[in-house]
Amino acid sequence: MSEPMRAPKGTFDTLPPDSAQFLAVRDTLTAPMRRAGYGYVETPVFEDTAVFARGVGESTDVVSKEMYTFTDRGGRSLTLRPELTAGLMRAFIEHRLYSGALPVKVWTVGSAFRYERPQAGRYRHFTQVDCEALGVDDPALDAEMVALAAQGFRDLGLADFELLLTSLGDATCRPQYRELLVGFLGGLDLDEDTRRRAEINPLRVLDDKRPEVQARLDGAPLMVDHLSDSTKAHYDAVRQHLTDLGVPWTEAPRLVRGLDYYTKTTFEFVHSGLGAQSAIGGGGRYDGLSAALGGPDVSGIGYAVGVDRTLLAVQAEGLDVVASAGVQAFVVPLGAEAKRLAVRLVGQLRSAGISADTVYGDRGLKGAMKAADRSGASHAVVLGDRDLADGVAQLRDLRTHEQVAVPLGELFERVRATVSA
């Protein structure tokens, strides 16, 4: 007998009953953007490699080390998406959404892939909730974006998270700051890979997590201290709107994040219960991304939240986050005639919007009632031969174990009314 197949290293399966909590977290994170009028978008799970090389940035670890890139049978270089924003921007450009009403407000949720060293909270396959507002540069929109992400965490009941906030400047002030930083880094004893990264994008060095590198960065010039007047005014307005919205933040002048497209407002949410992999989401403004992908020079702001990481944060705080009950009524047939009635009743209940299920295969009453208990249903309908002969079914409350006989002609309406109460 051959060895059983296993999921690839760094990936995992989300299975019932744990998947109910995963779905509850995902749906709670997406609810604020749906309430705010954002429209849902689906994009391919793979794109032309250039979408990420040009969009995310060739100096990033994501592009240089972590992408799953392959050549298809037509000789095209394709890449499994390592993040969702670049693909959304490609769609925005390809379908000329910029020619309509702006901003274009969209959201999506889906898998992303990065070849990373697997560890707690960091996987090669993960799920992100992604929210974007494209085409308008308005500090109030930045604040809305941050507030939507924060609301999702609050709706889950999370308390031990922190919002880190900074500004990374723009084309009016980044070049001068870049010269200052390059001059500072040039005086440091850096390894060859780090020096090469500094030549491509010196801000990447500030994001280096290695203690030996961070120790050399004391006294490094910070972007937030060299903002132009217009960019500083933009950042001040963002912070004022966040204050008005009741969203607290912590100034994080060294915050860079792992993608090259960020400008101006940049933010990250971290959770104290996750150890080294503390980030649960983040984002920022990316005013040059559209132009980098061949589109018009328009603004954009967005964020991504890791569903898997957020679920770990929920578990770290011991929160009871569950989806609505998968099944409200469970029908237990005993015998062939009862089975036909059970299948028909389950179909009627489902058509009426009631979550219902029944037992399949040959099971006795004991096994069937165990299945009913596992389903999470509040009520069970037991159909036995003697009951059918009497023209009734037994409606059992699985929480109190109280049971009443219900005439078969009234069974559907009685079950629907009882489980909906």
Element (H, E) at 240: helix 229-244
- Give the per-residue pLDDT at 134: 96
* Contact present, 413 and 329 (Cβ < 8 Å): no
Asked if 259 and 279 touch (Cβ cutoff 8 Å), the reply is no
pLDDT of residue 193: 81
Which of residues 60 and 394 earns the better pLDDT score?
394
Of 368, 371, 370, whose CA–CA distance to 383 is shortest?
368
**How much is the pLDDT for 362?**
77
DSSP string, 292-346: HTTS-S--EEEEEEEHHHHHHHHHHTT----PSPS-SEEEEE-SHHHHHHHHHHH
Q: What is the pLDDT of residue 257?
A: 73
What is the average pLDDT value for the chain, to the nearest integer? Answer: 91
**Residue 12, token pair as written in the block:** 């995992």
Which range, of 143-147, 369-373, 409-413, averages the lowest pLDDT? 369-373
The CA-CA-CA angle for residues 44, 49, 55, to 5°, reads 90
Q: Report pLDDT digits (tens) over 201-217.
A: 788 788 777 888 888 88
Write down the architecture of domain 329-420 according to CATH: 3-Layer(aba) Sandwich (3.40)
For the entire predicted model, the pTM comes to: 0.85
**Cα(310)–Cα(189) distance, integer angstroms:** 38
**Please, are residues 287 and 257 in contact by the beta-carbon 8 Å criterion?**
no
CA-atom Rg of the chain in angstroms? 27
Question: What CATH number has the domain spanning 18-173+227-316?
Answer: 3.30.930.10
Fold: same for 18-173+227-316 and 329-420: no
Q: Which residue has the tokens 């940049």?
A: 266
Q: What mean pLDDT comes out for the span 358-372?
A: 87
With 90 as the cut, is the pLDDT of residue 296 above it? yes
Contact between 190 and 202 (Cβ < 8 Å): no
Largest CA distance in the chain: 93
pLDDT top residue among 373 and 281:
281
Give me the residue label for tokens 């109280």: 402
What number of CA atoms fall less than 13 Å from residue 358's CA on the CB side? 23
* pLDDT > 70 in the chain, percent: 98
Q: What is the pLDDT of residues 169-211, one digit of tens each?
A: 998 898 898 889 888 988 888 888 888 877 777 887 887 778 8
Residue 118's pLDDT is what? 84
The answer for residues whose C-beta is within 8 angstroms of residue 46's C-beta and 6 or more apart is: 78, 79, 80, 81
To which H or E segment does residue 371 belong?
helix 365-375
Give the burial string for 32-69 (b: 16+ CB within 10 Å, else e).
Answer: bbeebebeebebeebbebebbbbbbbebbbbbeebbee
Residues 6+ apart with CB under 8 A from 364: 334
Residues 226, 173 contacting (CB under 8 angstroms): yes
- pLDDT mean over 398-412: 95
* Residue 392 near residue 414 (C-beta atoms within 8 A): no
Name which of 394, 371, 391, 373 is nearest 382 in CA terms: 394
Is the distance from CB of 81 to CB of 55 less than 8 angstroms?
A: no
Q: Which two tokens stand for residue 30?
A: 């997406």
Domain boundaries, the chain: 18-173+227-316, 329-420
pLDDT of residue 323: 56
Contact assessment for residue 90 and residue 51, using Cβ atoms and an 8 Å cutoff: yes
